[in-house]
Amino acid sequence: MSGSRVFGVWALPIGMVLGSFCECVVLIFALLKRGIHIVPRWNSDTPAVRVVRAQYIPLLVGSVLSSGVFIVDQTMAARLKPGSVAALGFGNRIVNVVVGLTAVSLSAAVIPYFSEMVARRQWSECRHTLSTYARLIAFVTIPICLGIALFSHPIVRLLFQRGLFTAVDTAVVARVQTMYAFQIPFYAVGLLYIRLLTALNRNDLVMASALINLTLDVIFNIVCIKFFGLPGIALSTSLFYAGSLFFAVVVCGRALRKASAALPYPSGSDRACV
């Protein structure tokens, strides 16, 4: 007998918790194998620790603000006709998978190189890497975005249309998914610039970007819902990610120019490890 028949809807959160637990166990064994302690310890308050703490606070606030976008979208969707919240969630699932496989993984892989180049003050190499990976991400994600948008209806029908998920639901979710798909290139390239800002110890700008995103999300939701209904919420997400990319490009360029004009760090100084 399947888990869904035994636990009903509770099978979903139970499976998520068990999956997260298994992932945590694997990470713990990987850390222990490399001699890294997993029990938190506080040895001393060094200058490097204070810098890291100062960078962590705006990054934490930025993460909270970014999470607020999801809450805002769900709240506004709940004010529409029944089933809107579920349709919004279904419409974003494929896009989330694509973003995770492309933008998140690639940007996470490149941040050690950004950090090393920033530590060595290799600004021309930093700009070259940023430009190269931005073009690469755009080259990969734009065709994916167009493919999802053009074939949204058959994708949703193939993956979800069964049982209580009817053809009417497929039509609604497909429109939502199409609007969500347009965010992929903007989000992916923008995340690369955000990673560089983190390497530059400019998480204050990351926090500012998250605040702008949340503000734009509210404004665009109000406007787009009037013209497009539920898919307008998804379109709003794509629009504010486009604005977020523009902001990241501008502030990242300024941060790079400011960092390259600053005096070099003394040899052996306690600079934050990024």
pLDDT at 265 over 60: no
272 within a domain of the structure (yes/no): no
pLDDT at 32 over 70: yes
Which pLDDT score is estimated for 26?
A: 92
Instruction: Fill in the amino acid letter for 22.
Output: C
Residue pLDDT, tens place only, 36-89: 877 777 666 777 777 777 878 888 888 888 888 889 999 999 999 888 999 999
For residues 30 and 57, state if they share a domain: no
Residue pLDDT, tens place only, 117-142: 888 888 888 888 889 889 988 998 99
Give the mean model confidence (pLDDT) for residues 188-217.
90
268 within a domain of the structure (yes/no): no
Provide the terminal-to-terminal Cα distance of the chain, rounded to the nearest Å: 49
149 exposed, middle or buried (CB, 10 Å; 0-12, 13-18, 19+)?
Answer: middle
113 within a domain of the structure (yes/no): yes
Q: How many CB atoms lie within 10 A of CB 232?
A: 23
- Which of 228, 157, 129, 147 has the alpha carbon at shortest distance from 185? 147
pLDDT at 35 over 50: yes
226 within a domain of the structure (yes/no): yes
For residues 32 and 87, state if they share a domain: no
Containing structural domain, residue 103: 46-261
For residues 216 and 230, state if they share a domain: yes
Split into its structural domains, the chain has a count of 2
Q: Give the mean pLDDT of the chain.
A: 86
For residues 213 and 114, state if they share a domain: yes
Q: Which two tokens stand for residue 44?
A: 């001393």
The secondary structure of 97-133 as a DSSP string is HHHIIIIIHHHHHHHHHHHHHHHTT-HHHHHHHHHHH
What's this model's pTM, rounded to 2 decimal places?
0.81
For residues 11 and 71, state if they share a domain: no
221 within a domain of the structure (yes/no): yes
- Which of 173, 201, 196 has the alpha carbon at shortest distance from 83? 173
For residues 187 and 75, state if they share a domain: yes
The residue assigned the tokens 């390259």 is 260
